[in-house]
Amino acid sequence: MVIELPEFGDVNVLASEADWAWPEALREIFRPRGVNLLVAEQAGDFVNILRQRRVHTTIVDMDNPAGGLSTIKIIRMDYPLMPCIVLASEAPQAILSEALRLDVFSVIGKPVDMQVLREQLNRLFVKRYNSTIFSV
């Protein structure tokens, strides 16, 4: 299913909080494109933010206490079609299988190569929203 992005609307991406410079690194990708970064500190915050704002995708860090596949499971309860990208420092077969079962769009290894993340966001937005907002 392709959903058109509004021409003059907010594009919001919801990501896990991190102790490192992760939010600032994301802003470097998002700011020039006019994309808003929303940050969730805990798993419950993901659902609260999703209820309050239109979110176009989530980025969940497996290593964050608020992250992991349990967060994806919580999101899937109310938002089964929400596109999700997972970041993982380790991705054994069990995690990849569960991510596939949960219909995760992509699993990206950590440390995150921001070019790879941008390419995955571009693929996601082209496929889901028919938008090239993350293209070069």
Structure tokens at 63: 């290593």
Residue 59 carries which side chain, given as an amino acid letter? Answer: I
Cα angle for residues 123, 40, 118 (degrees, 5° grid): 20
Where along the chain do its domains lie? 11-128
Look at residue 5 in the predicted model and tell me its pLDDT: 52
Q: Residue 7 pLDDT > 60, yes or no?
A: no
Q: Residue 11 pLDDT > 90, yes or no?
A: yes
CATH says 11-128 is which class?
alpha beta
Q: Please say whether the beta carbons of 5 and 11 come within 8 A.
A: yes
pLDDT digits (tens, 9 = 90+) for 42-92: 888 888 999 999 999 999 988 876 668 889 999 999 999 999 999 998 878
d(CA 81, CA 132): 20
